[in-house]
Structure 1
Amino acid sequence: MKLSANLGFLWADRPLPDAIHAAKAAGFDAVECHWPYIFDIKEVSMALAETGLPMLGLNTDRGDTSVGENGLSALVGREADARAAIDQAIAYAAALNVPNIHVMAGFAQGDAAHACFIENLIYACENAAQHGMTILIEPLNSYDAPGYFLTTTRQGLEVIKDVGRANLKLMFDCYHVQLMEGDVSHKLKALLPHIGHIQFASVPTRGTPDQGELNYAHVFKVIKGLNYSAPLGAEYKPSGDTDASLGWMKTLAG
Structure 2
Amino acid sequence: MKFSANLGYLWNDRALPDAILAAHRAGFDAVECHWPYDTPVSDITAALDATGLPMLGLNTVRGQSGENGLCGLPGREVEARAAIDQAIAYASAIGAQAIHVMAGRAEGPDARSTFLENLRYARGACPDDIMLLIEPLNRHDAPGYFLKTTNQAAEILDHLGLPGVKLMFDCYHVGRTEGDIVTRFTALLPLIGHVQFASVPDRGAPDHGEVEYRFVFDKIVATGWSRPLGAEYRTGGDTDASLGWLREIRAT
Same fold per superposition (TM over 0.5): yes
Could you say what secondary structure the match of 2:218 adopts? Answer: helix
Q: CA deviation at 1:133?
A: 1.1
What are the superposed Cα offsets for residues 131-150 of structure 1, whole Å, 9 maximum, x if unpaired? Answer: 42110000000000000000
Q: Is the 8 A contact 1:216 1:252 kept in 2?
A: no
2:170 to 162, 168, 173: 173
Residue matched to 2:11: 11
Residue matched to 1:78: 76
Residue matched to 2:234: 237
Could you say what secondary structure the match of 1:166 adopts? Answer: coil
Q: Is the 8 A contact 1:210 1:252 kept in 2?
A: no
Q: Is the 8 A contact 1:75 1:108 kept in 2?
A: yes
Runs of 4+ with deviation above 4 angstroms = none
Partner Cα distance (1:25, 1:218) in 2: 26
Partner Cα distance (1:88, 1:162) in 2: 26
Q: Indicate yes or no: 2:132 matched with 1:135.
A: yes
Partner Cα distance (2:27, 2:64) in 1: 35
Partner Cα distance (1:252, 1:29) in 2: 13
Partner Cα distance (1:111, 1:252) in 2: 45
Q: Is the 8 A contact 2:128 2:164 kept in 1?
A: no
Partner Cα distance (1:57, 1:94) in 2: 11
> Map of 1:58-207 to 2, 5 A cutoff?
58-65=58-65, 68-128=66-126, 130-207=127-204
> Map of 1:217-236 to 2, 5 A cutoff?
217-236=214-233
Identity of aligned residues (%): 60
Q: Is the 8 A contact 2:10 2:235 kept in 1?
A: yes
Could you say what secondary structure the match of 1:199 adopts? Answer: strand
TM-score, normalising length: structure 2:
0.98
Partner Cα distance (2:166, 2:242) in 1: 30
Ranges in structure 1 where 5+ consecutive residues have no aligned partner = none
Q: Is the 8 A contact 1:83 1:120 kept in 2?
A: yes
TM-score, normalising length: structure 1:
0.97
Q: CA deviation at 1:251?
A: 2.3
Equivalent residue letter for 1:115: S
Ranges in structure 2 where 5+ consecutive residues have no aligned partner = none
Equivalent residue letter for 2:99: I
Query: Alpha carbon RMSD of aligned pairs, Å?
Result: 0.9
Q: CA deviation at 1:166?
A: 1.2
Partner Cα distance (2:158, 2:250) in 1: 34
Q: Is the 8 A contact 2:199 2:233 kept in 1?
A: yes
Give the count of matched residue pairs.
251
